[in-house]
């Protein structure tokens, strides 16, 4: 599958995906809305083409998303992997890539959607949080769940230590989820993502 990875930040998940060497994907482009995202440097080091469009130069979300769709068109993308892409996608974008966008979220959805999920989990006082990989639908962090993994919260944890544990799990399960999706092993049945075999 021809894959685009979208990232707005440091790109440790992008790095983990590159390093995992999944045979069923070809990362044909890394896209970012931020010219200074470290993810871009990571892509360049691996000779992966990079595209950047600054969302701040657009008046509304739809216009920005249309520009992204146009920019990606020549790459003939089969799967979009959001890896720390901190923009909500408009319905125009979701429809253009229906069931072809996946996201990683640093919590056990449906708990703690949105931003600062580690902080949300600590403030709520849950004893376990985790990581979710899901298909993206038109809601925020609401799409069918592909994989989840639990992270235990210790009394000694603070936001930084918790995020480090979450990141370590993310780097394990995102490549696994991408492999599942790109090898056609799963199907979406209602809200559930089921193994075909």
Alpha-carbon span 194 to 197, nearest angstrom:
9
Distances (CA, A) of 70 to 22, 65, 77, 188: 27, 9, 12, 27
Q: Kindly state whether residue 7 participates in binding ligand GAR, applying the rule CB under 6 A.
A: yes
Q: Kindly state whether residue 84 participates in binding ligand GAR, applying the rule CB under 6 A.
A: yes
Of the candidate spans 22-30, 51-59, 103-111, 184-192, the one that interacts with ligand GAR by CB under 6 A turns out to be 103-111
Q: Which residues pair with 71 in a beta bridge?
A: none
Q: Kindly state whether residue 83 participates in binding ligand GAR, applying the rule CB under 6 A.
A: yes
Q: Kindly state whether residue 12 participates in binding ligand GAR, applying the rule CB under 6 A.
A: yes
Alpha-carbon span 197 to 195, nearest angstrom:
6
CA 18 to chain centre: 14
Site string for ligand GAR, 104-133 (x = CB under 6 A): xxx---------------------------
Dihedral angle, C-alpha 134, 131, 163, 29, nearest 10 °:
-30
Q: Kindly state whether residue 175 participates in binding ligand GAR, applying the rule CB under 6 A.
A: no
Of the candidate spans 7-15, 43-51, 56-64, 69-77, the one that interacts with ligand GAR by CB under 6 A turns out to be 7-15
Residue positions annotated with a catalytic role: 105
Q: Kindly state whether residue 13 participates in binding ligand GAR, applying the rule CB under 6 A.
A: yes
Binding site for ligand GAR (CB under 6 A): 7, 9-13, 83-84, 104-106, 167, 170
């Amino acid at each position: 599958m021809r894959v685009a990875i979208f990232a707005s930040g440091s790109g440790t998940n992008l790095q983990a995906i590159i390093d995992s060497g999944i045979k069923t994907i070809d990362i044909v482009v890394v896209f970012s809305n931020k010219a200074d995202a470290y993810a871009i440097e990571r892509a360049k080091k691996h000779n992966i083409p990079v595209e950047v469009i600054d969302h701040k130069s657009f008046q509304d979300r739809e216009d920005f998303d249309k520009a992204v769709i146009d920019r990606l068109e020549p790459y003939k993308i089969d799967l979009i992997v959001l890896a720390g892409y901190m923009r909500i996608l408009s319905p125009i974008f979701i429809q253009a890539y229906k069931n072809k966008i996946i996201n990683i979220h640093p919590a056990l959805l449906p708990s703690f959607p949105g931003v600062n999920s580690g902080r949300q989990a600590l403030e709520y006082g849950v004893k376990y949080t985790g990581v979710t990989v899901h298909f993206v639908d038109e809601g925020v962090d609401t799409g069918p769940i592909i994989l989840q993994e639990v992270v235990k919260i210790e009394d000694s944890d603070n936001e930084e230590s918790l995020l480090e544990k979450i990141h370590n799990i993310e780097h394990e399960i995102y490549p696994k989820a991408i492999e599942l999706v790109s090898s056609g092993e799963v199907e979406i049945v209602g809200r559930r993502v089921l193994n075909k075999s």
